[in-house]
Amino acid sequence: MNKPILSKSRRLKKTIFTDRLEEQGLSAYTVYAQTLLPSGFKDSLEDDYFHLTGNGVQIFDVAGQVVIRFTGKDSKKLVQLMTPRDLSNAIFGKCYYCPFVNEQGKMLNDPVVLKLKEGEWLVSIADSAVDLFAQGLAIGMNLDVKIERTSYQIMTVQGKNGLELCRRVFGDKILNQKFYNYDYFDYNGSSFLVGHLGWTKQKQGREIWVSPDQHKEGLDLYDHFFDIGKDLNIKPGYPNLIERIEGGLLSMGNDMDSFDTPLECGLEKFINLDSEAEFLGKDILRKQKEEGIQKKLMGVKIKNLKKIEVDVGINIYVNDQNIGELRSAVYSPNPKHLSVIGIAMIKKGYFDVGQEFDITVDEKNYKGEVCALPFI
Ligand code: THG
């Protein structure tokens, strides 16, 4: 079939790494927060999955995780207003994964939030325009805050050998960094913000946040990783759909959108509905928690299907009755699965593990089963 290409333009932001990735054999892009996000190189998605979860290291250009900076007297108030996660005791050096919601308590985004200084917050967004929403709130509420879409450029080092690669550059201090903490590390006289997190379930990954005035040094560091990482089996990578779905890492716009609440998305452990904090949708979310949810994001497995591309939600049925929608899916070559695995929003009464369902993919009928997230 004809494979259309993505036409580039100034509207689709390139990153400081884009040219390099193309030299390295980039074969596919997607777009994330208006930024080019790599989605394939020379090898197959499955080969890249085994490399990422096996004995290698991959560097991803994830500058699509656009960083919005909030500064000023009301910066904390505004960031808190958008999330049911209680940030009142947020400290420097920690990263906070925060569901952001609108006034209906529905998902707006699911960024990572950092308190950088008193009165300065960085919000590293998923794929929706948080800055515009925040600007509207700030104007409407007359808040003293400056909201800027920055040119931070994030790269992430992932895979089993990633920590050793980072140790070679940043020294032993990196080995002691705790999950979801950030700190500053030197490379070549430049101080980089490095966080222990990043877009996979590999738990050893590190993100390097190249600041707006470090673009040259950031690209130097990218090249340096490849120079010194050959014996560690290094290659350029990208958020891997198989690894993401297995790990149950949700994707804004794919698995969840502005029709879903964090409770329906299984994000309850990242929110505090009993806090004193003032945030949008508080009463609605409290009520929903009390009354119980009517739908829930779950894992699904589909048997006897080898290939699937979900570019629109696919309905799921039990006895010809619609019980939900498949939102992301991929064939997993992991010997534990060897089937299509996916993430689906399932209606109440059917979101129990083991529930069987029918689904039609490319005009053929298949049987599936609801399972828990994450898969592994
Ligand atoms: N890094 C940065 N910004 C981001 C992401 C990132 N912005 C958006 C995007 N990712 C949002 N998606 C997720 C989803 C899950 C996680 C991170 C970002 C994640 N969750 C951990 C888990 O589920 O195991 C737990 C996090 C925690 O314990 O606080 O890592 O990756 N800069």
* Separation CA 34–CA 322 (nearest Å): 34
Q: Tell me how far the alpha carbon of residue 370 is from its chain's centroid.
A: 23
3-state secondary structure of 48: helix
Select from 60, 122, 199 the residue to mutate for testing ligand 1; criterion: most ligand atoms less than 8 Å from CB.
199
* Separation CA 328–CA 310 (nearest Å): 6
- DSSP E strand boundaries for 62-145: 67-71, 95-97, 100-101, 107-109, 112-117, 120-124
- Residues near 128 by beta carbon (within 8 Å), at least 6 away in sequence: 33, 108, 109, 252, 253, 258
Taking CA atoms only, the protein residue closest to ligand 1 atom 15 is 249
What pTM was computed for the model? 0.97
Q: Are 243 and 52 in contact (CB under 8 A)?
A: yes
pLDDT per position as a tens digit, 279-330: 999 999 999 999 999 999 999 999 999 999 999 999 999 999 999 999 999 9
Q: Indicate the helix (H) or strand (E) that contains 322.
A: strand 321-332
pLDDT per position as a tens digit, 320-363: 999 999 999 999 999 999 999 999 999 999 999 999 999 999 99
Q: Which tokens belong to 291?
A: 């009354």
Taking CA atoms only, the protein residue closest to ligand 1 atom 24 is 201
What is the CA(318)–ligand 1 centre distance, in A? Answer: 33
Angle (CA) 154-179-297 rounded to 5° is 80
What is the CA(101)–ligand 1 centre distance, in A? Answer: 16
3-state secondary structure of 263: coil
pLDDT per position as a tens digit, 221-260: 999 999 999 999 999 999 999 999 999 999 999 999 999 9
* Separation CA 100–CA 341 (nearest Å): 27
Residue 124 alpha carbon, nearest atom of ligand 1 = 3
CA distances from 352 to 96, 265, 373 (A): 30, 15, 12
Taking CA atoms only, the protein residue closest to ligand 1 atom 8 is 126
Taking CA atoms only, the protein residue closest to ligand 1 atom 1 is 198
Q: Nearest-CA neighbor of 280 among 49, 68, 108?
A: 108
- Quickly state the pLDDT bin for 3 (edges 50, 70, 90): confident
Select from 197, 200, 202, 328 the residue to mutate for testing ligand 1; criterion: most ligand atoms less than 8 Å from CB.
197
Query: Which amino acids bring their CB within 6 angstroms of ligand 1?
Result: 65, 97, 110-112, 124-126, 154, 180, 197-199, 207, 249-250
* Separation CA 239–CA 247 (nearest Å): 12
Taking CA atoms only, the protein residue closest to ligand 1 atom 3 is 124
- Residues near 189 by beta carbon (within 8 Å), at least 6 away in sequence: none
